[in-house]
Amino acid sequence: MMDMRWIMRTVLLGTIVTVGLGQTPELEAQERAPRNLEEFDTMFRDLSNWGRWGADDEIGTLNLITPAKVQEAAQLVQQGITVSLSHNPMPDPAIDNPDAAFDHTMGRTFRSDTYSFTYHGYAVSHIDALCHFAHDGRLYNDVPTSASNAEGCSKNAIHNMKQGVITRGILLDFPRLKGVPYLEPQTPIYIEDIEAWEREAGIRVSSGDVIFVYTGRWARREAVGPWQVSGNSAGLHASVLPWIKERDVAFVGSDAATDVMPSMVDGITQPVHTMLIAGLGSNIFDNMDLEALAETARALGRWEFMLTAGPIPVTGGTGSPLNPIAVF
């Protein structure tokens, strides 16, 4: 069973400190573990899923999406409304797309074309494979980082998700919770915020779910223009990680970096990414466009849906561009 020290620490602090999205991030972070790399290392050992599904496992928390979970998700289809969670690829350079991460070239006959993606980063909607992040020289399930090299990933690669994902998706609508159009960069999201949203939405995150953290990143970009998302985004604080493990969340998605950045954990830039991918074996849905999803969920008064997603099964790939679909 999971070591409950991390959950209990957060709960106890919640009774002492006024917590939530409206507080000063620096003061909040000082009172929450992990505060530094040493505490993160301890948390990593306590929460790790290494060996949980066997020494040879390469799909991690995808194991939580059982046939029964898929059947449960199918029951959520009521209106037959479908919503894409992908942002259209951006061919033009911008401060949040410095390398013009997408290129579209037409063939000589103009009836064929070539797509080129540099999908890791903060511009292209994509999913991370379990070989994309490591901690202390090891990939998920105690695989050495040498398994990821110039030839690709011999372990934990994206082709292991070829059968796709069908499960219950849940939108965590933090702008609605706080009564704002979007969260400002560097806003941390804590356990209390997630559970406050559960109460407001009348739902409870359960085993095998995919949660989507809506910060309003694309709405803010539309309102004020692009900004440097790397190192400067709203997202989950690392103190949420024990809650994710306790609830057996299958995957986490976000419209930005997933991690709050700066991370507020001394010595590690992206602790949430590191724990989810390398520790829990949980793929991350990055740079989703959740604007249409939020609009639809608000109109219907429904925050849960059937989620479908199928990455391109590139053998040895570190991830894949992705167009997940929510079905209401």
- 194-224 pLDDT, tens digit per residue, is 999 999 999 999 999 999 999 999 999 999 9
Query: Which phi and psi angles does 188 have, rounded to 5°?
Result: -85, 150
Q: Give the domain ranges of the chain.
A: 16-90+118-327
The owner of tokens 């009172």 is: 31
Tell me, what's the pLDDT at 18? Answer: 38
**Mean per-residue pLDDT of the chain:** 91
In angstroms, the first-to-last Cα distance of the chain is: 35
State yes or no: pLDDT of 25 exceeds 80: no
Q: Whole-angstrom Cα distance, residue 327 to residue 255?
A: 18
Q: Do 290 and 212 contact (CB within 8 A), yes or no?
A: yes
Q: Is domain 16-90+118-327 annotated with CATH 3.40.50.1820?
A: no
Encode pLDDT of 239-270 as tens digits.
999 999 999 999 999 999 999 999 999 999 99
Tokens of 169: 């998706």
Tokens of 95: 């401060």
Task: Tell the burial category of 276 from Cβ atoms under 10 Å away from its Cβ (0-12, 13-18, 19+).
Answer: buried
Q: What is the value of pTM for the model shown? A: 0.91
